[in-house]
Amino acid sequence: MSTKANHLLRQWDGPLTRDLVLSPGEFGLGQVPLKLSPNQTTRTVCGYCSTGCGLQVHLRDGEAINLSPATDYPVNMGMACPKGWEALSVLSSSDRATKPLLRNEHGELRETTWEVALKTFCERFKQIQQTHGPGSVALLGTGQIPVEEMVLLGILSRFGMNFQHCDSNTRQCMATAAVAYKQSFGFDAPPYTYDDFEESDLLIFVGANPCVGHPILWERVLRNRRGGKIVVIDPRHTETAQASDMHLPLLPKSDLALFYGLANQLIQCGATNHAFIDAHTNGFAEFAEFVQAWPIERVVRETGLSRNELHQLVDWIAMAERTSFWWTMGVNQSYQGVRTAQSLINLALMTGNIGRPGTGANSITGQCNAMGSRILSNTSTLLGGRDFANADHRREVANILQIDEAKIPTSSGYTYDQILDAVDRGEIRGLWMIATNTAHSWMQQERTRATLAKLDFLVVQDMYHSTESARQAHLVLPAAGWGEKEGTFINSERRIGLLKKVARAPGQALADFSIFRLIAHFWGCEELLENYDQPAKVFQLMKELTRGRPCDFSGIDGYEMLERAGGIQWPLPAGTELKETERRLFANGKFFHVDGRAKFHFTEPQAMPEPACGQFPLVLLTGRGTVSQWHTQTRTSKSAVLRKLYPKGAYIEIHPRDARERGIESLDPVEVVSRRGRTLVKAMVTPTVGLGQVFMPMHYPETNVHTLPHFDPHSRQPSYKDAAVEVRLSQEKRS
Ligand code: SF4
């Protein structure tokens, strides 16, 4: 390790948090002895989901020993779900990556030094680029690291290392909402604030199960001050549906027929807000003509819902002063997700349900920093929510970063699925994967793993060396996790929250921030990042990158202001006084298109590409299993408390009549079979799934064996919820 690199490490892993005191003493490769102020309590934000709860971390003798939900944080007001309560416990797991691991000539991952790891990283990627061209390497990032780290990575990979293909796991959860908002509003701008849960007369949840997926947001729903009715539109009788005033169990992928039909009915009964439509939108006349093709008989036929149910919903929307539409993955993870999201946006626009308390067409994000990724990761959009293809935007970014404009590509490059396809056909030979677990989370898992195995060089940068992806890597870079570094996350309601360093990373694990700086040093492009040696300095850069953009937060002085305010929602342009803790967009009816108007978008629905058939007669739905599990369980499986709160092994929920026809009882071992593979799981017989449908939680590797690789054409987001499968008693049980 060069003296300079050692010096930089010392600098970067020094005191990241002002309210913690780190020893200035000697340290090795990235390990800083902590001497924290004893018995101190400090506030941070949770690092799992996009709710962005505030957590109070309690320190004793300089060590974080426990935490509790922050009572003074405007998001969660003293509440937290089990994942938040257990956030510290998952840091001290025996499978934490504590040293770099390099695969040797015998195919074994063996410990190595940071110096060897970083030199190997740079040599191998450069060698691949020289041999196969600059497009032969790619990056898959994450919505789980702070914005400051995303910005550094975006600058380093795009402008320093000339990576042409960079995407992130937010493609799997939020790409659809981002594209839908951009096309409809002119910018990726979720319009709401969490107070809208409490201010709404009618809350319509579509493909969303906040009881399980966003439990603290569900608590906000339960605090509704206006006696708001709850409608759940979901094929499954979920926990949220069970608590609703009306559940509409529509047939899988009939959402567009339902929402076009609703629009038609609302127009026919005169429940449109013409003053709003005329003043603030474009395209309504064409939309109104289009939806005439969805009379109620057709909607009944295509959705499986009853005429009465549809009339009831139309009446409730027509009568409510404030209707809010909320959606998550049931909409986003669809081969026609963008148009489905926009069919909800259209309903909000045509009824004037936007920009007022308790209204909105509101996408709830998934990961803790998916919103940060959407505007500042430099993957699908250029820094600041700009377009790579726009010459003015490229010039603005070049000026801010003081780099040659020619370094900025004119295209965002391949999307996640296109990157993997390019790996499969040998076009991409080197892949850098950061805080994501593609080998588990991507669809058609066996093919995905075979695809990753084709890579000449796979680098996985992660907290744990045990993930399915890390086990396939040629090089594992050990990363610090939540609680072990500083920065900011942006939550679903656009609130920028402050993340604190309250624990030391184990062994030689480093903050991703430091790893990116080190890579820049070894790659030979450190001048790009030389002004950004601390997250707080990158935050000042983020302000400049958003200045003048719809997401402008140049009015936030710095971390101290975020700390005082309890997080701040964008926008907050320089010179704006922060008067309220909760702010929604579009109160003035002005959208972000050049003419200030929102647009109606609509398209003829498409049939499911793999419908149920004689051989595979059941439609497989996927989603969250329990409150205590997170995604591929990389972290949540490390908590003894959380593990007690969910089933250990994979299971499939099946309707009693489908089970009876197959001789299946609850807890029987069953085979799930699809065109893509076969897995052995336990059966759970329950009427919460519809007849002809089955449900598997996303958290177990057995699920994505069956999911079908197909994508929304606008967002390239995967459609995870409509594969055809069969379920039968296992061989062992049959014999
Ligand atoms: Fe963390 Fe989300 Fe749970 Fe809040 S709801 S404690 S942000 S995981």
Give the closest residue (by CA) to ligand 1 atom 3. Answer: 81
Task: For the chain, give the percent of residues with pLDDT over 90.
Answer: 92
CA atoms within 13 A on the CB side of 565: 23
Would you give the end-to-end CA distance of the chain in angstroms? 62
CA of 169 from ligand 1 middle (Å) equals 19
Please tell me the distance from the alpha carbon of residue 391 to that of residue 646, in angstroms, as a whole number: 51
- The yes-or-no verdict on residue 63 having pLDDT over 80 is no
> In what helix (H) or strand (E) does residue 471 lie, and over which residues does it extend?
helix 468-472
Q: Which of 501, 636, 498 is nearest to 59 (CA)?
A: 501
Q: Which atom of ligand 1 is nearest to the CA of 55?
A: 6
- The yes-or-no verdict on residue 315 having pLDDT over 80 is yes
- The yes-or-no verdict on residue 16 having pLDDT over 80 is no
Taking residues 121-139, report their average pLDDT. Answer: 98
Provide the token pair at 287.
């939309």
Q: 48: Cβ below 6 Å to ligand 1?
A: yes
* 499: confidence class by pLDDT, cuts 50, 70, 90: very high
Say what the pLDDT of residue 283 is. Answer: 98
CA atoms within 13 A on the CB side of 703: 27
SS3 443: coil
CA of 224 from ligand 1 middle (Å) equals 20
Which of the pair, 13 or 660, is modelled with greater confidence?
660
CA of 53 from ligand 1 middle (Å) equals 6
Give the closest residue (by CA) to ligand 1 atom 4. Answer: 53
Q: 84: Cβ below 6 Å to ligand 1?
A: yes
Give the closest residue (by CA) to ligand 1 atom 2. Answer: 49
Q: Mind listing the domains of the chain with CATH numbers?
A: 101-169+369-499+507-553 (3.40.50.740), 175-363 (3.40.228.10), 618-734 (2.40.40.20)
- The Cα angle at residue 501 between residues 438 and 504, in degrees rounded to 5: 80
> In what helix (H) or strand (E) does residue 618 lie, and over which residues does it extend?
strand 618-623
Taking residues 520-527, report their average pLDDT. Answer: 96
Q: 477: Cβ below 6 Å to ligand 1?
A: no
Average pLDDT of every residue of the chain: 94
- The yes-or-no verdict on residue 117 having pLDDT over 80 is yes
Please tell me the distance from the alpha carbon of residue 54 to that of residue 73, in angstroms, as a whole number: 6
Please tell me the distance from the alpha carbon of residue 636 to that of residue 450, in angstroms, as a whole number: 26
Instruction: Give, for ligand 1, the residue of 43, 44, 48, 219 to mutate: max count of ligand atoms closer than 8 Å to Cβ.
Output: 48
* 5: confidence class by pLDDT, cuts 50, 70, 90: low
- The yes-or-no verdict on residue 38 having pLDDT over 50 is yes
> In what helix (H) or strand (E) does residue 541 lie, and over which residues does it extend?
helix 535-546
Please tell me the distance from the alpha carbon of residue 500 to that of residue 111, in angstroms, as a whole number: 29
- The yes-or-no verdict on residue 641 having pLDDT over 80 is yes
- The yes-or-no verdict on residue 627 having pLDDT over 80 is yes
CA of 497 from ligand 1 middle (Å) equals 13
- The yes-or-no verdict on residue 27 having pLDDT over 90 is no
Say what the pLDDT of residue 50 is. Answer: 95
Say what the pLDDT of residue 7 is. Answer: 61
Say what the pLDDT of residue 732 is. Answer: 80
Taking residues 522-546, report their average pLDDT. Answer: 96
Taking residues 235-246, report their average pLDDT. Answer: 98
- The yes-or-no verdict on residue 11 having pLDDT over 50 is no
Reply yes or no: is the peptide bond before residue 656 cis, omega within 30 of 0.
no
Say what the pLDDT of residue 3 is. Answer: 64
Q: Which atom of ligand 1 is nearest to the CA of 49?
A: 2
Q: Within 133-202, where are the H helices?
A: 147-155, 175-185, 195-199
- The yes-or-no verdict on residue 273 having pLDDT over 70 is yes
Say what the pLDDT of residue 62 is. Answer: 67
Q: 190: Cβ below 6 Å to ligand 1?
A: no
Taking residues 493-514, report their average pLDDT. Answer: 95
CA distances (Å), 131 to each of 165, 413, 597, 657, in order? Answer: 17, 20, 49, 58
Say what the pLDDT of residue 155 is. Answer: 98
Taking residues 160-180, report their average pLDDT. Answer: 96
DSSP secondary structure code for residue 160 in this structure: I
Say what the pLDDT of residue 733 is. Answer: 78
Provide the token pair at 446.
């066996």
Say what the pLDDT of residue 61 is. Answer: 74
Instruction: State if pTM tops 0.85.
Output: yes
- The yes-or-no verdict on residue 14 having pLDDT over 90 is no
Provide the token pair at 393.
């935007």
- The yes-or-no verdict on residue 13 having pLDDT over 80 is no
- The yes-or-no verdict on residue 28 having pLDDT over 50 is no
Say what the pLDDT of residue 734 is. Answer: 77
Which of the pair, 26 or 707, is modelled with greater confidence?
707
> In what helix (H) or strand (E) does residue 733 lie, and over which residues does it extend?
helix 731-734
CA distances (Å), 479 to each of 21, 434, 497, 630, in order? Answer: 21, 9, 21, 19
Q: Are 669 and 732 in contact (CB under 8 A)?
A: yes
Say what the pLDDT of residue 31 is. Answer: 35
Taking residues 583-604, report their average pLDDT. Answer: 97
